[in-house]
A and B are shown apart, each in its own frame.
Chain A
Amino acid sequence: MTAELTTSQWHGSGNGTSGAALDLLRIVRINEEIKRVVAVAFKINIMALNAIFLAKRAGNAALGFGVLSNELRVFSKDLRESMISLTRLIHDLVAEVSVVLQESRQDALFRRTLAQCSGNPMLDSVLERRNAQHDSRAQRISGLRRSLRLAVDDAARLVELGGVLAKSAKIEAAYGAGFASSLGQVSGEFDGVVEEIRSSLEILRRSKFFGGSA
């Protein structure tokens, strides 16, 4: 099931939370998850910087580890950029869905008006115009929703790369001679942090906003 705005969701149920309000709530949750990923991405950057210093101290035995640590810094930067583009999409979605919320209240009032004086041609034409505006807004929201889903998928692919880097760092740590234990600990932390991001992105992908179950 895809989570597109239906007419009834647009108008709201009249009692309880409307489709737009639920969408807004889901967008807020997605945004909270994105903030979590951004914080973790920043942590990777610091960890990678420390790992580069450690690799330098370890010398030739940790050359491969040093290269991977550099790559993890690049990964952290790419991830943050990816999250910035997700945040932009979230911002646009919040703006659009907020208007839906505001307009759905007005629609409810117009529907009550129609119930009191049906057959009023002016009222009919206002409702017709508003419906056309709703359709075009629903299309914009649908487009943003698709873009957001694609951006989350892109971020997930990026995190797969981060996972490979962390695993490779673990292997390289084993060749770290006297520094093997310290390098192993750092690479283990990388792995844990990347897992944390992967789990956040999985929550995003399963969001009901994209028709998932979370």
Chain B
Amino acid sequence: MKTTQTIFEDGTHKWTAIVRDPAKPDYLIDTNEYLVQHAGQGLLLDPGGAEIFPAVFSALSAEFDPSKLTGIFASHQDPDIISSLALWLEFNPQMKCYISWLWESFIPHFGGTAETFVALPDEGAGISLAGLPLQAIPAHYLHSAGNLHLYDKQAKILFSGDVGAALLPPDKQGVFVEDFSSHIRHAEAFHRRWMASNEAKRQWCERASHLKIDMLCPQHGAVYQGDDVQRFINWFDELHVGVIRV
């Protein structure tokens, strides 16, 4: 079973990271899921693949009533992001799934109906969680052609999907980045290969630099906090991506 860790709490406003499952088979990539709660409602960010649904559901339900999940935010269309959609919808068929418009007709292959999906435009959009304003931020081509991140201005948290992801070795399983320079070695190859466009990366770094971010939460690896957030943005800005030599 995965473990949960509260990474932000202010009254009913709460961010919970759902991380690390020791029982997960090695052939599945490890993923982080995040639950944003506000005034009794919940939004699940990148709920994960169908195969890890049991681990995510049991960890989440220990913390939160799954029937109070009103939405799912999918940063992009990959199976490790959203292939569990049909299973989550069993608990609340009215649940909304927020996605880039680009994937509006692709993700229904994982489940849901026309009413399930809220297609977000390329420039992003506001999402309200029981009155809490959240902002979908463009991150296209990082890595997916229709990619969005989610910013919580009040918590100063940016959910950054695959940006900031690291494929960590078994002895580096902490929820937070502890030593940036050693951590980033596990992120470099991933970013070089998965991130598709230097131009898109430049735009994202510019955009992220203008946000007040205390925590940058990727879908794989560890959470960047404090000064490590800007360190990461600077590092990413200088990294040459989208190149493959064969």
Flag the segment in B10-18, B51-59, B130-138, B146-154 that touches A: B51-59
A110 to B53, CA, bound (A): 8
Given known contacts A117-B61, A122-B67, what 8 new A-B pairs fall within 8 Å (CB)? A106-B87, A112-B54, A115-B54, A116-B1, A116-B55, A120-B61, A122-B66, A126-B90
Q: How far is the CA of A129 from the CA of B58 in the complex (A)?
A: 19
Q: How far is the CA of A117 from the CA of B61 in the complex (A)?
A: 8
Query: Could you say which interface size class chain B belongs to?
Result: 10 to 19
Inter-chain CA distance A130–B89, complex, in Å, is: 13
B28 on interface, CB distance cutoff 8 Å: no
Binary CB contact string for chain B from 24 to 51 against chain A (1 if under 8 A, 0 otherwise):
0000000000000000000000000011
A117 touches B58 (CB 8 A): yes
What string of 1s and 0s marks CB contacts (under 8 Å) between A107-126 and chain B?
Answer: 00110110111001011001
Which residue, of B1, B50, B62, B90, has the highest number of chain A Cβ atoms within 10 A?
Answer: B90
Write out the residue numbers on chain A whose beta carbons fall within 8 Å of the beta carbon of B65.
122
CB-CB under 8 A from A109, the residues of chain B are 50-51, 53-54, 87
Q: Are B90 and A130 in contact (CB under 8 A)?
A: yes
Tier of interface size on chain A? 10 to 19
Q: Give me the 10 closest cross-chain CB pairs, A-B, nearest first.
A: A116-B58, A113-B54, A117-B58, A112-B54, A126-B90, A113-B57, A109-B53, A116-B54, A116-B1, A122-B67
Which residues of A does B touch, CB under 8 Å?
Answer: 105-106, 109-110, 112-113, 115-117, 120, 122-123, 126, 129-130
A113 adjacent to B90 (CB under 8 Å): no
Instruction: Give chain A nearest CB distance to B38 CB in angstroms.
Output: 21
By a CB distance below 8 angstroms, the chain A residues around B55 are: 116
Q: Are B91 and A113 in contact (CB under 8 A)?
A: no
- Interface: B86 (CB within 8 A): yes
Main SS at interface, chain B: helix
Are A113 and B58 in touch, CB under 8 angstroms? yes
User: Which of B58, B65, B66, B67 gathers most chain A CB within 10 Å?
Assistant: B58
Given contacts A109-B53, A109-B54, A122-B67, contact A117 B90 (CB under 8 A): no
- B54 & A122 in contact (Cβ 8 Å cutoff): no
- A25 vs B82: C-alpha distance when bound (angstroms): 30
Complex A-B: 25 CB contacts under 8 Å: A105-B50, A106-B50, A106-B86, A109-B50, A109-B53, A109-B54, A109-B87, A110-B54, A113-B53, A113-B57, A113-B58, A115-B54, A116-B1, A116-B54, A116-B55, A116-B57, A116-B58, A117-B58, A120-B61, A122-B65, A122-B67, A122-B91, A126-B90, A129-B90, A130-B90
Kindly list chain A residues whose C-beta atoms are within 8 Å of the C-beta of B58. Answer: 113, 116-117
Which A residues lie within 8 Å of B54 (CB)? 109-110, 112-113, 115-116
- By the criterion CB–CB under 8 Å, are B87 and A117 in contact? no
Chain A residue at minimum C-beta to C-beta distance from B2: A116
Query: CB within 8 Å of A: which of B60-90?
Result: 61-62, 65-67, 86-87, 90
Distance between Cα atoms of A106 and B57 in the complex (Å): 13
Alpha-carbon distance A112/B58, docked complex (angstroms) = 10
| Chain A residues near B87 (CB-CB < 8 A) | 106, 109-110
Find out whether the CB atom of B62 lies under 8 angstroms from the CB atom of A117.
Answer: yes
> How far does the alpha carbon of A191 sit from the alpha carbon of B90 in the complex, in Å?
57
- What's the Cα separation between A110 and B91 when bound, in Å? 11
| Complexed CA–CA distance, A116 and B66 (Å) | 15
